[in-house]
A and B are shown apart, each in its own frame.
Chain A
């Protein structure tokens, strides 16, 4: 595994942060000048319950190395029960993906409140370390770039069963 990771490979991690808690928590980390790894790209969603498994799969398919979904603590959801529903969906999806063979740790979940700037940076740090250990995402990735004459595009890959 160590050979596969070049010393200068940095994982790309997508973080879905709920607007009311986790995103605010991330803001607080920033305004408090708390350092955390720059690998995450943030997508703000109204609530962690908004997360559709299609988003997570599309991210993994696009070559994202890891996904973090973060929401309000149970009981604190701005929409009262969104994070509870999100919790159930997350649990089901995570177990299913790992059962199918996705590496454990590629998709992670957290509760971060608006006051937890410190926790946010800690979570990001942990997730980044975990993904670094797992290496670049290879399973499920689909090529999405055009690269000159004769380049293999997104619909052609070695496993294409058609003649």
Chain B
């Protein structure tokens, strides 16, 4: 596993160097090391020498597709995991950038580690952490804990069935076996067993922690509206205060606006400072879109977005 990660990292750097030397792109967006353990940060490389700062490990959790909006005037090379690549396909379907503006460096993903779960599994602050084989070694002031990597993956990564980018300009590793570690959308199936009353209470409890920081919205590559519905004052859908109803409204609609567009990357959940389990919304919507319309975001670049098309035989058993 170690070798695989290193090989991918080397290939990413090679690819970046070549693209930048040939001036095929203006910049490369990838991951770099920064100050905290268990984390990487998005970096923006403009010279071939800078390519050595690009890294690859199990903490490359951000969806870099979200930067395409910011850098829409440039030719950009992006390091993309399976989910990120699917977001990019969805964005190109929505014509957010010209096809020749983007060079997709596809990385078959080994699944990302949930740094919050790792932090909660140890007593004390983690000062250093690194991967070793299939383990995470977390070290603090007075402890050194070895954790099995597969026990600490993000929920969205555990159920992922498309870890290999399908539409990349280059794949920097061998495609991975696509069996999920957990049954597709297990949280959804578990959750659906609960009573309506319980489900509502859970939704209320989780969504009411929201502080309207919009980290979920900004981290999501599909949220790029110049005026988000929350900022609309005429009509004013919701206020900017904290009525429970408005908080719930925000989350229902933000999730709903991703129906048929969400790649299930989990960036929203990872960005939330209040640890709201946002993927329990998106997984349900993705599951329904698959079941109802046989559509999965970002798999077929020719397939039209499901909510702007139809089949005459679409299901309608719920309509009187």
The answer to whether A and B touch directly, with their CB atoms under 8 angstroms apart, is yes
A and B contact pairs by CB, cutoff 8 A, 29 listed:
A53-B256, A57-B249, A58-B237, A74-B312, A84-B312, A85-B307, A87-B314, A87-B316, A91-B288, A92-B256, A92-B307, A95-B284, A95-B288, A96-B252, A96-B285, A99-B192, A99-B284, A100-B200, A101-B199, A101-B200, A101-B201, A108-B320, A110-B320, A155-B239, A156-B243, A159-B244, A160-B244, A161-B209, A162-B242
Determine whether A94 belongs to the interface, using a CB cutoff of 8 Å to chain B.
yes
Residue of B nearest to A158 (CB): B244
Please state if B245 and A103 are interface contacts (CB–CB under 8 Å).
no
Interface majority SS (helix, strand, loop, mixed), chain B: helix
Residue A102, interface by CB 8 Å: yes
Which residues does A use to contact B, with CB under 8 Å?
53-54, 57-58, 61, 74-75, 81, 84-85, 87-104, 108-111, 123, 126, 139-143, 154-157, 159-162
What is the CA–CA distance of A139 and B208 in the complex, to the nearest angstrom? 13
**B contact residues around A103 at 8 Å (CB):** 196
Centre residue among B192, B229, B241 by max chain A CB count within 10 A: B241
A-B contact count (CB 8 A): 131
In chain B, what residue has the closest Cβ to A138?
B200
Q: Mark B249-286, 1 if CB is under 8 A from A, else 0.
A: 10011011001100000000000000000000100110
List chain B positions with a Cβ less than 8 A from chain A.
Answer: 188, 191-192, 196-204, 208-209, 229, 237, 239, 241-246, 248-249, 252-253, 255-256, 259-260, 281, 284-285, 288-289, 292-293, 306-312, 314-316, 318-320
| Pairwise interchain contact A88-B196, C-beta atoms closer than 8 A | no
- By beta carbon, the residue of chain A nearest B211 is A161
Residues from chain B with Cβ under 8 Å of A160 in the complex = 242-244
The answer to whether B319 touches A54 (Cβ under 8 A) is no
* B293 lies within 8 A of A88 (CB): yes
List, in ascending order, chain B residues with CB within 8 A of A93's CB.
Answer: 256
Query: In the complex, which residues of chain A have a beta carbon less than 8 angstroms from the beta carbon of B316?
Result: 74, 87, 91, 111
CB-CB < 8 A to B309: which residues of A? 85
With A85-B307, A140-B245: A159-B208 Cβ-Cβ less than 8 Å = yes
- Tell me, in angstroms, the Cα distance from A54 to B309 when the chains sit together: 20
